[in-house]
Structure 1
Amino acid sequence: MTKSVEIVEVAPRDGFQPIGPWIPTETKAAYIRRLAAAGLRRIEIGSFVSATAIPQLRDTAELLEVAAALRGLRPQVLVPTAKRARDAVAAGAPFLVYVLSASEAHNRSNVRRSVAESAEDYARMLEALPDGIALRINLATAFDCPFDGKMEVAPVLDLIRRLAALRPDVEICLCDTTGRATPDHVAELSASAMAACPEVGAWAYHAHDTYGMGLASTYAAWQAGVRIFDAAAGGLGGCPFAPGATGNVATEDVVWMFERMGVATGVDMAALLPVAADAAALPGASAGGRARAALAAGCG
């Protein structure tokens, strides 16, 4: 294969965060080890957020220690504020994902501040960030907001330009938080953002599958030139601050599609499938995806 993409596994953060029953830390650690063994080199292992708001992620610092022992793994953690970024760096996080929303209503619901305030906070974080820390921006509700509806491309592009100007060498991930993005919208914003900000270090896409469009929108982003994709084993997920949003696009579905297209992912499907099946069976999990059942039924 002459073409390749990078899959970022987000089940241990985005997939586990809406699950009510506590998942023991060692169980989470075992999933991270198994996902890494399946060839996933970037895993979002958790988030430094309020344990009151999202109690499932209160053991992220412990999981960082687990990830540090796995050779070749790049663990990343999500942070919503500069203060939480300091906590993550103090705990040894090598890769931060700063999240803010394109829509005012969702940003206030998610982090209790305006988009402008989050952008200012991001700038303060950049000033204090030590050398050697990798960085990504997760731009939530880039396509659709659960409160405001469909996002127009122009104002989202304006926000992307402002963020990129603060530090152009970061990775920017366009996130379909609600799963309501259509492939044409994903292709338009992805292509427009890359054309408007060619200095950006890398572009990524984060799909949810609420309306069964996750794989189609992932393909649309790939056609537009994106080469980094978030996915969750077992199709786990759902945003606590986006009512009605269900799981992420399933890692096994994304891997199957790209490999079938002749695009290398570096993921061993035979090793991934049992991990995905176990993740989907977790008590309280909201699972999705189609490849598990199809391959289990011998559909090849």
Structure 2
Amino acid sequence: MKATLIEVAPRDGFQPIGPFIPTDDKVAFVEAAHAAGLRRIEIGSFVNPKAVPQLRDTAEVLRRTAHLPGLDAQILVPNPRGVALALEAGARHLVYVISASDAHNRSNVRRDTADSTREYGEVMAGLPAGIRVRLNLATTFDCPFDGRMDQALVLDRLARMLEHRADVEVGLCDTTGRADPDHVAALSAECLRRFGASGGEGGTRFVFHGHDTYGLGLANVAAAWHAGITGFDAAFGGLGGCPFAPGATGNTATEDVVWMLHRMGVETGVDLDALVRLAARAAALPGASPGGRVRAAMTGACAA
């Protein structure tokens, strides 16, 4: 059994940190994550720098990490302008985000989900050949404004998005961290049944993106795994938090997910000791709000 870890700290983990992290340090973090065995790394985003000033150097980070062998550098984009900037910078793997919730989508990109879906379709039609796409479905389980999402509504909106391009990877995102294992298992299983198979050919692939706001991050990863999903977003040091989802705190810590999966007999290709050292460095960043348990357990540090 094997799982794929997708490291999102350089984007999702760094974006809420106020003090600017020097570009040299960001590059060093990506290099260290790569050295620990992580190959899929979300290194930044092309969003309005006034909204997310921390990631204004994404193009430079992308350029300076391009030499890493086997690195699959993902870039988050919320709109056609972001897509154009990412392609201009040389990105080959785009993460396009749309919220299942109208209220969160308006907070995030100032338009409702239907408008974003139409815009997404136009972008997909105009993409150059060879560009890989991941579709992040934000607020899949819960919205910070509307509460628990209706599963039928989420599935219907996802189906409309997949009409524009089926050969994508879909991130089922617990944006607020308020999902519970039963909800994650049920929706994950239904997505796999209706739209494809995780890691399979000829269907839509799915990954799970969770936050640990209420301490259910690992439980939700386990629920998604047992439902058949084999790809998981996580952030070293448990860094993160969505600026557009009030109350949402850090991502599930990569080192926690790796430790749990290894105990379950699941291969990840990640060196846990090296990852814990990296997580300790990330936890010490000025302005960071780290989380997770494994870092503290393996180093004797106080879990922040």
Short-chain TM bin = over 0.9
1:297: Cα distance to partner? 3.8
Q: Which amino acid aligns with 1:206?
A: H
The Cα offsets for residues 245-277 of structure 1, whole Å up to 9 and x where unpaired, read as 100000000000001110000000111111100
Query: Hey, what's the Cα distance between the residues in 2 that align with 1:73 and 1:141?
Result: 28
1:218 counterpart (201, 216, 221): 221
Structure 1 match to 2:160: 162
SS at match of 1:19: coil
SS at match of 1:136: strand
Q: Which amino acid aligns with 2:175?
A: T
1:276 counterpart (275, 279, 301): 279
Of stretches 65-74 and 100-109 in structure 1, the one that deviates more from structure 2 is 65-74
1:152: Cα distance to partner? 1.1
The Cα offsets for residues 211-237 of structure 1, whole Å up to 9 and x where unpaired, read as 000000011001111011000000000
The answer (yes or no) to whether the contact 2:236–2:255 under 8 Å persists in 1 is yes
Q: Which amino acid aligns with 1:283?
A: P
What TM-score comes out, normalization by structure 1 length? 0.97
1:200: Cα distance to partner? 3.3
Equivalence map 1:233-272=2 (5 Å): 233-272=236-275
1:83: Cα distance to partner? 1.9
The answer (yes or no) to whether the contact 2:195–2:204 under 8 Å persists in 1 is no
SS at match of 1:247: coil
Q: Which runs of 5+ in 2 are unaligned?
A: 197-201
1:52 counterpart (47, 50, 59): 50
Q: Which amino acid aligns with 1:293?
A: A
Query: Hey, what's the Cα distance between the residues in 1 that align with 2:156 and 2:300?
Result: 47
1:204 counterpart (207, 210, 229): 207
2:138 counterpart (137, 140, 159): 140
SS at match of 1:4: coil
Q: How many residues align?
A: 296
The answer (yes or no) to whether the contact 1:171–1:200 under 8 Å persists in 2 is no
Structure 2 match to 1:10: 8
Q: Which runs of 5+ in 1 are unaligned?
A: none
Query: Hey, what's the Cα distance between the residues in 2 that align with 1:127 and 1:67?
Result: 29
The answer (yes or no) to whether the contact 2:140–2:172 under 8 Å persists in 1 is yes
SS at match of 1:29: helix
Structure 2 match to 1:288: 291
Structure 1 match to 2:89: 91
1:165: Cα distance to partner? 1.7
Identity of aligned pairs, percent?
Answer: 61
The answer (yes or no) to whether the contact 2:14–2:54 under 8 Å persists in 1 is yes
Structure 1 match to 2:61: 63
Query: Hey, what's the Cα distance between the residues in 1 that align with 2:106 and 2:218?
Result: 29
Structure 1 match to 2:18: 20
SS at match of 1:210: coil
Q: Which amino acid aligns with 2:8?
A: V
Query: Hey, what's the Cα distance between the residues in 1 that align with 2:52 and 2:32?
Result: 24
The answer (yes or no) to whether the contact 1:38–1:272 under 8 Å persists in 2 is yes
Query: Hey, what's the Cα distance between the residues in 2 that align with 1:84 and 1:127?
Result: 16
Q: Which amino acid aligns with 1:284?
A: G
The answer (yes or no) to whether the contact 2:75–2:94 under 8 Å persists in 1 is yes
Compute the RMSD of aligned alpha carbons: 1.0
Query: Hey, what's the Cα distance between the residues in 1 that align with 2:210 and 2:289?
Result: 15
The answer (yes or no) to whether the contact 1:160–1:193 under 8 Å persists in 2 is no
The Cα offsets for residues 92-118 of structure 1, whole Å up to 9 and x where unpaired, read as 001000001000100000010110010
SS at match of 1:166: coil
Query: Hey, what's the Cα distance between the residues in 1 that align with 2:69 and 2:227?
Result: 32
Query: Hey, what's the Cα distance between the residues in 2 that align with 1:124 and 1:26?
Result: 36
Query: Hey, what's the Cα distance between the residues in 2 that align with 1:31 and 1:212?
Result: 26
Q: Which amino acid aligns with 1:282?
A: L
